[in-house]
């Protein structure tokens, strides 16, 4: 919901979030036993693998802060970027570059690969358990994800009962998601991608096939759009047999136990629920109207839009809100906020009416500078 008049009130915060009891339980076990071995036997270890090359996006510190509030989950970056100084302890950075990663991929998969740019790595996500297997030996589960994500309480959704029962977990009920998928760290599960008759063709071509999700149809439209309208991915025509096809067929045959469930708030939910607003409160992520809790928010459709505000916080606040216009704290949502937002709406109008992008960006910078100075005077 976009509030355009200063007489309208900002959405109220849902109040203090209940504390995550998991860290306290771990501390108690440590004091009781004097060792972390008991903790390790209780909780299955999870690690998300993310190769990333280029430059950290402007929201990266916000992403890391949401990782910090999931201390029993790990993230492993393979990157040529400098590691942030205040990165949480559960996020590790391995220095490398795209050229070395291509060599490693070809060596581990034992076949020629074509990776001309970092985006092509998205087709290799299902093979990360093999490609980066040497760094994942201590973990019970490994996963792939993106960094245009805000995490909620991961362990609340990936409970020990869920991890004990399922070998593969996806973030949507319709198909395997590229922005989140979890795999049991076992040889046959790590090599599920080999069940696709097209994996060699996909890995040896520099073309992008959307292998991690559903592939494309003959019109080069993502098949996942059809599944979101109710179609079964196994009934959809795709240029390749994707990981959604592989996992669904394997689960249907009883070879693996797969959980397809809605864990994410993203484009599909936004289209159904206008006036949406998310509250992130010390590791918990809730939608305002429904009070439904989500494991993560995927904001890929907003991150490059000119009117979506992403602040460069030096210290990430423990509570913030996310809406159609960006990230905000309660302090920022004072009466003058709505007056300022009208300026951004005006800029968006000019941008859509054909004003050159360079001019729009210049106006945008000037508005933001004025915005910050007026907050200082308030």
Q: Out of 6-20, 86-100, 165-179, 238-252, which region has the weakest mean confidence (pLDDT)? A: 6-20
Q: Identify the pLDDT of residue 340.
A: 58
Distance from the first to the final alpha carbon of the chain: 25
Q: Identify the pLDDT of residue 376.
A: 44
Name the nearest CA neighbour of 278 among 5, 14, 66. Answer: 14
Cα Rg of the chain, angstroms: 22
Q: How far apart are alpha carbons 159 and 164 in whole angstroms?
A: 9
At 47, give phi and psi (nearest 5°). Answer: -140, 130
Higher pLDDT, 307 or 64: 64
- Per-residue pLDDT at 32 exceeds 90: no
- The model's pTM is 0.79
Residues 6+ apart with CB under 8 A from 117: none
> How far from the centroid of its chain's Cα atoms is residue 1's Cα?
23
Please tell me what DSSP assigns to residue 152: -
What would the pLDDT profile of 148-162 be if each residue is shown by its tens digit?
A: 999 999 999 999 999
Domains of the chain by residue range: 22-155+179-210
Percent with pLDDT over 70 in the chain: 75
- Per-residue pLDDT at 31 exceeds 50: no
Residue 290 structure tokens? 């429904």
- Per-residue pLDDT at 26 exceeds 80: no
Strands 46-52 and 141-145: parallel
What would the pLDDT profile of 351-360 be if each residue is shown by its tens digit?
A: 555 556 666 6
Please tell me what DSSP assigns to residue 17: P
Q: Identify the pLDDT of residue 15.
A: 45
| Residue 296, H or E segment | strand 296-298
Residue 77 structure tokens? 């970056």
Higher pLDDT, 272 or 19: 272
Is residue 131 within 8 A of residue 39, CB to CB? The reply is no
Higher pLDDT, 88 or 368: 88
Alpha helices of 45-194 — where are they, by DSSP H?
A: 60-68, 98-109, 128-131, 154-157, 160-165, 187-190
Q: Identify the pLDDT of residue 35.
A: 41
Q: How far apart are alpha carbons 215 and 188 in whole angstroms?
A: 23
Query: What's the mean per-residue pLDDT of the chain?
Result: 83
Q: Out of 238-242, 259-263, 308-312, 343-347, which region has the weakest mean confidence (pLDDT)? A: 343-347
- Per-residue pLDDT at 242 exceeds 50: yes
Name the nearest CA neighbour of 39 among 52, 53, 23. Answer: 23
Mean pLDDT of 169-182: 96
Strands 264-265 and 296-298: parallel
Q: How far apart are alpha carbons 155 and 72 in whole angstroms?
A: 8
pLDDT level of residue 92 (50, 70, 90 thresholds): very high
Is residue 192 within 8 A of residue 256, CB to CB? The reply is yes
């Amino acid at each position: 919901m976009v509030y355009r008049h200063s007489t309208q009130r900002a959405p109220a915060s849902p109040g203090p979030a209940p504390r995550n009891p998991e860290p306290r339980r771990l501390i108690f076990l440590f004091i009781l036993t004097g060792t972390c071995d008991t903790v390790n036997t209780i909780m299955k270890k999870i690690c998300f693998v993310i190769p990333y090359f280029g430059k950290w996006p402007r929201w990266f510190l916000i992403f890391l802060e949401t990782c910090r509030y999931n201390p029993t989950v790990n993230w492993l970056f393979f990157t040529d970027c400098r590691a942030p100084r205040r990165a949480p302890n559960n996020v590790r950075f391995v220095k490398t570059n795209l050229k070395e990663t291509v060599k490693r991929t070809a060596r581990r998969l034992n076949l020629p690969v074509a990776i001309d740019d970092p985006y092509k790595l998205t087709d290799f996500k299902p093979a990360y358990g093999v490609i980066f297997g040497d760094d994942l030996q201590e973990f019970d589960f490994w996963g792939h994800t993106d960094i245009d994500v805000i995490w909620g309480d991961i362990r609340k959704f990936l409970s020990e009962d869920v991890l004990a029962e399922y070998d593969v977990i996806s973030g949507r009920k319709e198909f395997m998601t590229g922005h989140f998928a979890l795999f049991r760290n076992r040889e046959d599960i790590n090599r599920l991608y080999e069940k696709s008759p097209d994996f060699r063709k996909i890995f040896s071509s520099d073309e992008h096939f959307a292998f991690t999700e559903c592939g494309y149809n003959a019109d080069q439209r993502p098949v996942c759009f059809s599944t979101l309208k109710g179609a079964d991915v196994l009934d959809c025509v795709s240029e390749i047999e994707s990981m959604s096809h592989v996992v669904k067929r394997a689960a249907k045959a009883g070879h693996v136990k797969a959980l397809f469930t809605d864990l994410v708030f993203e484009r599909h939910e936004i289209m159904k629920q206008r006036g949406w607003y998310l509250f992130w409160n010390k590791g918990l992520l809730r939608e305002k109207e429904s009070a439904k809790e989500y494991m993560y928010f995927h904001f890929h459709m907003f991150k490059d839009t000119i009117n979506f505000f992403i602040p460069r916080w030096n210290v990430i606040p423990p509570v913030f809100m996310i809406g159609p216009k960006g990230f905000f704290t309660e302090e920022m949502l004072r009466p003058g906020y709505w007056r300022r937002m009208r300026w951004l709406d005006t800029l968006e109008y000019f941008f859509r009416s054909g004003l050159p992008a360079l001019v729009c960006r210049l106006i945008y910078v000037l508005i933001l500078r004025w915005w910050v100075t007026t907050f200082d005077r308030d």
